[in-house]
Amino acid sequence: MDKKAYNNLSVSSAPHLVTGLDTSKTMAWVLAALAPSLLVSIYVFGFRVLILTIVCIAASVGFEWLYNKITNKTQTVTDLSAALTGVLIAFNVPSSLPYWMAVVGCFVAIVIVKQLYGGLGRNVANPAIVARIVLFVSFATQMTTWPLPRMMNVTDAVTGPTPLGLLKGGSVEDLPSNMEMFLGFIGGSMGEVSAIALLIGGLLLIFKKIILPHTPVAFIGTVFVFALAYYGIKGDANALQMAIFHVLAGGVMLGAFFMATDYVTTPIMPMGKIIFGIGCGILTMVIRLWGAYPEGVSFSILLMNILSPQLDAFLIKRNVVGGVKREK
Amino acid sequence: MSSSAKHLQSIDAGHYKNTAGSATEIMPIPDLVKISMSQHIGAPCKPLVSKGDTVKVGQLIGDTDAFVSAPIHSSVSGTVKAIETQRSAVGGEDTLVVIEPDKKQELCEDIKVPEVENLEGFVKAIRASGLVGLGGASFPTHIKFNPRNIDDVHTLIVNAAECEPFITSDHRLMLEDTQDLIDGMVLVMKYIGLDEGYIGIEENKPDAIALLDKMLAEQGHDNIHTFTLQARYPKGAERVLVYEITGKHMAAGVLPADLGVILSNVTSIAFVGKYFRTGIPLTSKRMTVDGDAVNQPKNIIAPIGTMISDVVEFCGGYKTPPKKILMGGPMMGRAIFSDQMPIVKNNNAILVFSKEKATIPEETACINCGRCHAACPFNLIPTALADAYEERDAEKLDELQVMQCMECGSCSYVCPARRPLGFLNKLGKGVVKEAGIK
């Protein structure tokens, strides 16, 4: 090149280098981590799982796109957070849920819980969790009609109670084996049935440093210890079996790895993440054992979401900077 | 000695040490040099030469009586063409002594190997050499070598971490000027009265560690040790390095000497060794030239005052039009507005980037992921600090200890929303200072 002076170079504050891992890629990793669970769910409940998931993604992305369009805001759908919310909503409903009901859930999640609060990063509660709860109280029948796994050899029924439903109803002898629950050959919400698939996804996220292990370990550990103590004190000979059952049943695995680790609605401080997980575990077990509902994961996460800003504020005040704690 | 068990938080900012295997090339004397009178923290020097004067290599051409200062010497022999002013990289005005080299590189008659008997003489010789902190801070070294609590200091820490991506000049120095480095350490430890010496080197420079270990053992320097650091950013930050080696937290405002440590950059120490061998003051500098917009990335030694455009020319010229030129590394280096700026003492790299590489992606919403907090070596909470800065809340900023931020930029680097968190801390510090909070 010819020799000439360059006098109008761009100047900016350091650093001049940033990581390649942006918000979209972060969300993409979470979506990838949910894929094993989706595949198991399709295998267990059939092709409708895939269609319902696609409907939820399309509706969530569509609502966000439309909201931004109408309110004349910068388009944000490419950050993939709406797509992720869509998948999580699908994972939190039975595979037989009418499509239009799922779309209502997506509207609640994206428009009411997320966009009206200011969009990604501003929402207080986890959009997918609130959508699940709204659907649950609005369409109680459809939301608690659980298609049975295709591999269950039943001729006269296509739906039945979930393992937690059986437990609540007192039919302990009908409970599936822990192995069936680990693999996911049980009734339940689409994406929550296979503990192994969720575990694979969750470990991928921890390995890729997308999430910290603090919350899932605290959440799952608390559920296990709580259940072990409860059944142990009751003198149940199967206390250990029951503790494992509670970890594998319902939404604990999905919640612990994918919902209680949502950045926006959980504490930023590592200690906060631990407290958040323990809180979720305790609330889940309290609702399961003494509440009116068989399952308490969504309620527990929602309650802890609401507490998160307070947890952070408390911990930020007590943060130790470079070995120095400010006495105030 | 290897890394201690406890580490401060750090990040993987990539290494890009493309020039690690490139032996240093000595750049020919350019057609023109412009020697800045502000090459150190403190008062600028006044030119001691005028237009038309002839000068020789190592001749004193700028000095001042101010306490915090270091003299400036000519890097070439030739004729002073002008004394001019130019806008500096930081926005002020620089006085430049413009010299047309005769390319004979005649040495100044004043140059002689310093003869020193005690600390006072040593410190005097260091000042006369024009040495400043060559790691980037450019603080006059003779002041650092003579701390108020001189009886309490016991350890020399040589910063050879070179944690900035791209830069390999310190690495090359350790391989090429190994004896100067060892001699420099011995001299500094002798005159200041230090018992132990550590050379902190990141583990990605095993050849340098092995060579130093071998030579230190051969020469019987059993009180000088290499210290292997994790190859992570920012292990070469002064306060981080002190913690990694001594296990002591060094808060902002605390001097290494307060912890019994004299800390100096590897290039500065090797220069001390060379200066006591040759007597030639600081007139040239080794640096890495790299980046996607330069044709032949390499390590060079250039005379101080060489135009950056000439440096790039020596490295094969621009591959594509430059959009950003950095003095220093990509994490803490300074972006300059023009390539018509001269090399100064503390330049350890010139990085030239194309438009594509120079553009930082647009900022998006904070998703509260906490990566900035997890990245901060001092455990600051950049998101909370950014909120407090948004409110210009000096008290809150102070409570969150914004003044402890060393502006390493780790938070900005890891942010998936591309928020300039480190820069906001810099602004936040200004808010606290303005409010007069002590």
Q: What does the mean pLDDT of chain A come to?
A: 93
Question: A73 pLDDT band (50/70/90 cuts)?
Answer: very high
Question: A1 pLDDT band (50/70/90 cuts)?
Answer: very low
* Chain B environment of A13 (Cβ under 8 Å): 420, 422-423, 426
A321·B399 Cβ contact <8 A: no
| pLDDT score for B401 | 95
Mean pLDDT across B62-66: 95
Q: A18: nearest CA in chain B?
A: B413
Sheet with strand B196-202: strands edge to edge: B224-229, B196-202, B155-160, B261-265
Asked whether residue B88 carries a pLDDT value surpassing 90, the answer given is: no
Range of weakest confidence among A18-27, A261-270, A281-290, B129-138? B129-138
User: How far is the C-alpha of A79 from the C-alpha of B364, rounded, in Å?
Assistant: 9
Considering just the CA atoms, what is the radius of gyration of chain B in Å?
A: 22
How many CB atoms within 10 Å of residue B237? 26
- Which pLDDT tens digit goes with each residue over A5-50? 999 899 999 999 999 999 999 999 999 999 999 999 999 999 999 9
Half-sphere exposure of B284 (CA within 13 A, CB side): 19
Domain locations along chain B: 119-278, 371-435
Burial A159-198 (b: 16+ CB within 10 A, else e): ebbbbbbbbbeeeeeebbebebbbbbbbbbbbbbbbbbbb
Mean pLDDT across B187-206: 97
* Chain B environment of A322 (Cβ under 8 Å): 239, 249-252, 377-379, 401, 404
Question: A3 pLDDT band (50/70/90 cuts)?
Answer: low
Question: B1 pLDDT band (50/70/90 cuts)?
Answer: very low
Looking at the complex, report in whole angstroms how far the Cα of residue B43 sits from the nearest Cα belonging to chain A.
24
User: How far is the C-alpha of A145 from the C-alpha of A162, rounded, in Å?
Assistant: 9
| pLDDT score for A323 | 83
Q: Find how far residue B46's CA is from the centre of its chain.
A: 23
Q: Do the Cβ atoms of A300 and B415 come closer than 8 Å?
A: no
- Amino acid A73 reads K
Could you write out the three-class secondary structure of A33-56? HHHHHHHHHHHHHCCHHHHHHHHH
- Which pLDDT tens digit goes with each residue over A272-317? 999 999 999 999 999 999 998 888 999 999 999 999 999 999 999 9
Asked whether residue B2 carries a pLDDT value surpassing 80, the answer given is: no
Q: What does the mean pLDDT of chain B come to?
A: 95
Domain locations along chain A: 23-142, 157-312
Burial (CB count within 10 angstroms: exposed 0-12, middle 13-18, buried 19+), residue B258:
middle
Class (C level, CATH) for B119-278: alpha beta
What's the predicted TM-score (pTM) here? 0.94
Asked whether residue A328 carries a pLDDT value surpassing 90, the answer given is: no
Looking at the complex, report in whole angstroms how far the Cα of residue A118 sits from the nearest Cα belonging to chain B.
10
User: How far is the C-alpha of A233 from the C-alpha of B185, rounded, in Å?
Assistant: 68
A12·B335 Cβ contact <8 A: yes
B322·A6 Cβ contact <8 A: yes
| β-pairing verdict for B196-202 and B54-55 | unpaired
Looking at the complex, report in whole angstroms how far the Cα of residue A303 sits from the nearest Cα belonging to chain B.
18
Q: Which of A16, A80, A311 to mutate to test the interface with B (most CBs of B within 10 A)?
A: A16
B338·A15 Cβ contact <8 A: no
Which token pair is B89?
């990289």
Q: How far apart are the first and last CA of chain A?
A: 61
3-state secondary structure of A265: coil
* Chain A environment of B412 (Cβ under 8 Å): 15, 18
Question: B3 pLDDT band (50/70/90 cuts)?
Answer: very low
| pLDDT score for A61 | 98
Question: A178 pLDDT band (50/70/90 cuts)?
Answer: confident
Which token pair is B232?
């992570």
Looking at the complex, report in whole angstroms how far the Cα of residue A10 sits from the nearest Cα belonging to chain B.
5
Asked whether residue A324 carries a pLDDT value surpassing 90, the answer given is: no
Identify which of B337, B416, B423 has the shortest CB distance to residue A9: B337
Percent of chain B with pLDDT over 90: 93
B368·A328 Cβ contact <8 A: no
| pLDDT score for A191 | 92
